[in-house]
Structures are given as C-alpha cells and as structure tokens.
Structure 1
C-alpha cells in the first residue's frame, strides 16, 4: 500500500462514524464520540504532572514556569489535529519538545506527545515523512547536546556523551519500529475484518441462491401439473364432469405435495441445526415422479444401466431435482407426450439423460431458463456438468454427469 493510499484505507476501514471504534459503530458513549479530546487531555495530564514531579529531583535544570507549562500543553493540544494533518502534528510536537529541552526545562514524559503523533502519522501511511522528522529531531538533539549547549540554559550544563547520543537514537528507532508494528497489525486486522465481511456476504449470496433454487425445483413441477390439470378441468367440467373431477383430484394431490415440500424447506431454514423430519428425495422416488408426470399427460419411460451405486444425499437430491426439472420443462415447453429417462451408473459417477421427441411449443426451451440454470448450478456444486439443447431430429435432451462417492459402510 502506498503512503498516499494508506490514509484513505485507514479512514475507510479503521474508523466508525464520528471517529469511534469500527467494530462498535453504534456505541453511544463519550469515549466513542470524542476520542481525540479525551486522549489529548490524558497526554496533557501525564506530561504536566510527570514533568513537574520529575523536575523536583533535577536541581541542575530550569524550574518550570509559565513558558514551560505552555510548551507542555501545546503538544497535547496539537494532537487534536493528528487525523487531519498527521505529518504537521508530528513536526509540530517534535518542534515543541525540542524547544522545551533547549530551554533547559526538566526531563520527563514530555516525549509522550511526540510518540502519539508519530504513531498517528505512521498509521495514516506517512512513514517517510515521519522518518524525516525523526532524523531532524535527532540532528537537533546532537546539535544542542554537542555544541549549542554552551549558550543555552542551564548554565552548568555539559556536553552530551556519545552514550547519551546513542541512547537517544535507540529511543527514536524503538518508537519508529513500534509505530510501524502498530500500523502493520492494524492493517492486518482491517484486512481480516474485510475478508470476513466478504466471506459472510458470499455465504449469504450462496444461501440465497440455494433457497431460490430449492423453492423453484419444489414448486415448478407441481405447479406445472396443476396448470395442465386445471386446463383439463375447465375444458371438461360441463361435458365430462367425471374426468374434470379426476383432474381436480390430481390438482389437490399435487398442491398438497408441493405444500409439504415447501414446509420441509422452510423448516430446514428455520432450524438449520436440526435433522430434517423427512428424508430428501432421491432417485428411489423416480416412479412417484413419473406418476405425477403421467397425471399431467406425460408418459415417462425409465431405464437404468450398470450396477446401481448408493449415492450420498447431496448427489441423490441433485440427480432427482435435475430429472424433475427436465420433466417439468417437457410438460411446459414441449408438445411431446412421452419422455425417456436413462440412468447410467458408473463406479465413480452417474449419468442422467432425459429426452423428449418435441417439438417445442414455446421459446422457453432454449437452455437459458432459470430451471436449466438451477440444474447447472446443482451439478457444478458437485463437480459435474449439465448439457441441454435440441437434438437434430427436433427433440430436446438434458444430459447430466455427476461424480459420486459410495456411502461408507
């Protein structure tokens, strides 16, 4: 991340409304609403009280006066602007601290405002600028300690030793290293939080698509049967009431089954940790599915090849839904009144083929409908494929290949 991009990222990901903590955006306490004044006040208290207490034992230094206390308070006051102008605040607090020490006032926690300003500037991404300020501070310290001390208070002061100069350099390096470590950890926390949010959004989208696909598969077939039988009942209710009664009975059975499956889906959504009350449908319910299609006027022929392999529930449900959707499309979009289902079992896969003789009665049977999209999504989720399209003779074919594993015994 560049020095210019880091502040924007920090503002976007690191702070909540009003400058509060990002993971508590709704917190309504004074600490969350006014973090800068409170922290600056704490720094001011520490610097003033700490320097006053430390000055009692430093008899060779200049006693604190109005100017000394003013310098101790100006640094924390500048910290109020550290988010708006972090580099300027780092330079300003460094200059005030340098002036305080050059005036001969007692050593103490006067450096605290410099440390806070350096941390804020580095966290905002201005590492190079802070490094320049730190070098200038150290150069000024050497200039005063080695040469200018002769003309500066206190009068009894002596030249700084190279041990003291080295200690000051080590202190500055430690502050810069700690500030950089804090920045890295903050960016890592921000990155992890962003990735968690993206993962949650991704899971929510996947769950939304799964629910939509499941409800579509549950309802489309039954509603198609109901639609066909309702048309039959309307056409025959006056002339052939007994056949109309049969159609209405089929409508009642299909709607009851659809309602039961919807309740099962909703129950699984409301209690995701509980086991479903009834098993999910699988290929063993194909005869039942063929009977429902027959009620809609579609004769279904089922044939299997190879030794049947027990499928895991996810693959079994996907195979059932793919065949169900294929039959639904034939009822809705084809003039054919017959359908052929071929199931080919392999040791590590199952192949599903659903054919009708056509022709298509609407433009919906083109391979781009929501149902066909749902078929492909189910197959891809298991590592399989689905191909759908018209045959050369005018019929329509859905061909699915699903990799499967045998159930452990």
Structure 2
C-alpha cells in the first residue's frame, strides 16, 4: 500500500503484510459474528453445522495457509498471489453456510487488487480484476445451478468493493506516472533554460572580446605607417583576444545543442551589487552580500592566483553563487566555506561546504515543498543564483567537460565540488 510523507512508519509495512493483515482481520470478524458477545442475546450470524466441526476448522486453516502464501508472493508474483487469495476466499466461505462469498473473506483480495493495479502494467491489472470478478460470478453460478439460494445482492456489493479497490490502485499508478513525467519535464526545462543563460553570457563575452578586437584594429590602422611598433603591439592584442575567444567558444558552444532561442534584454544580478559578468575575483563581494542574509562565508584560496579564461571564471563563480544561495535558503547553517583550489595547473577546483542540519537539495524542489518556510532568516536578502539548483550547476560544469559532485558530508552538512579543466597552451586574460 502507498504511504503519505506524513506517516513514514506505514512505508515499512509491505503489501504482503497488508494483505495478510486484511485476511486475519476478516477471519476475526467472521468468528466474532458467530459468537455471542457481551450485551447480545444471541450471535448476529448462526455458526452453522460445519463451521465448528473439525472439517470446518480444517478448511479455515487451509484457507488461511493459502492466503498467507499469497500474501508472501504479492510483491514478487502478484498474479499468482491473486489466485492464491481467491482460492482461499472460496475455501473459507464453504464451511460458513453462506449464500455468497462474504466481504470479510474478500478483504485480502481487495488489497491484492489495489497493489496489482498500482504497480503492474494495465494489461496484468485488468486480468487480475477480471479473474476476481469471475470468481465471484462462478461461485454464484454454482449455487444457482445446484438449486441452492444465491446472494446476488451481496455478491454485487463485494464486486463493487473489489472494483473500487482496483480503481484506487490505477489512480495511484497514474498519479505516480504523471509526477515522474512532470519531474522529467521540469529537469529538461531547467537544463534548457540554463543553456540559454550560458549562451547569453557567452554572447556577452564574445561581444566584449570582439569590441576589443575592433578597437585594437582601428588603432593599428591609424599608426601602422608612423608607429609600426605600436601597430605590432595592437595586432598582438588582437591575436590574444581572438585566440582566447575562440578557445572559449570551442569549450562552451561546442557542447551546446543547436536547439536554443534568443533571450532578449540584459539580466543584472538581482539586487546583489554584483557585476553583470562576474568572476572569482568578486567572491569577497558575494561573501558580504551573503553575510547580510545571516550566513558567514569564509573564502579560502589554495595555490597562487592566476588569470582564467572568462568562460571558466564565470562558470566557477556561478557554481559558487548557486551553492551559497542554497546554503542560505535550505541548509539551516549560519556559515559555509568556499575553497578555490588553483594548485593544479590543468584544472580549477571550487568547493562549497556547510555543516547545516537542514535538507540541502535543489532550491527549486525545496521551494515547491515549502521547506524554505522553516528558516528564520530573510531569504530575500540572499544573493541571486541561477535559479536552477543542482541541475543547472551540473549542466554548466558538464558543458565545460568538467566534473561535478554534490551530496551530504560524512560529518553532517552538504558539499558541492566542481572541477573545471583549464585549456593548455592558451593565453589567459
């Protein structure tokens, strides 16, 4: 059976245990109906001749054994489990002297129908329902053809309950399928939106570099005859800017898909005071903004600082910015540490970690679950991130052929690590 997040202990009860519990509850109810309870002058239902004899008790024991066997098989072989439970219901009803299979003997079958409908393909679920309704009809038909009394109305009520259980299971399966589809679409939309953002930032970077090239080319043309040394210097600057821009384009746009749309307008950092195209050089400013939101950010730099390609510098900053935003909004921590490791000449490694006890997950999913409402800080003061959480960070790092990891720390809290490879033989700004 399914369980809601508000009752996690129910998740420990397997479908087989639910079915076994339903069978035993039905058996207990059957017995209680046939004994005189305190306050009653007589039992509600006459026990009948066979029920209290050894053969009646033996049939009940055999039916219980069949039902428990079916309960064990419910998770691994649900179709076989339904058959076991149906046989158990028929066997248990025989010594009761009833005109139809009682509802109490069909409780476990209803549970099995729900489980099959909720977890198995539609064709298999439909066969289970048809078999269950067919068993009721067959029991009724045998009594009619034998000339015995038949409880048609009672059978219809039991069949209706079985159909309702099956429909609830189908609704559960369709709800899960819809939720999974919605999550997949949200993840795809997040990836697409992040790539559009990266493409816009790359456009701004290229436009900036081309502007420098144009200025240097104009300067070289004006002094080419009178000051050839300055013209040569300008051409060198043009070559440097061009190589750096082409290298960035190969790293970034080479991994982007062709399916992208133009995003109009310029986006500024939302109230954070950060530049439009920031980099790791403004981490101290990011720490100041985050401190206003109630979280102290300690910035550690390992290795000698060196100039980085603009696309790598920007992507590393965006990873740090989004991670710090998640710390403010979702971790419950009052501090975090940002480490920028430049010891490796072939890669840049940035790490953001905190010791907060709260659930540190993708910001979008946490906002949907209203988890941010448990925090006492003013989240509106948090620095603006990309808004796409772990999906966006992973996509950004992957586009640069880097490695991304995010998960809980062994000692508590959360850690985000991004390793961005540096181009070899390229002149950095």
TM-score grouping bracket, smaller chain normalisation: 0.3 to 0.5
Which structure has the bigger radius of gyration? 1
User: Under a length normalisation based on structure 1, what TM-score does the superposition of the two structures give?
Assistant: 0.44
User: Under a length normalisation based on structure 2, what TM-score does the superposition of the two structures give?
Assistant: 0.42
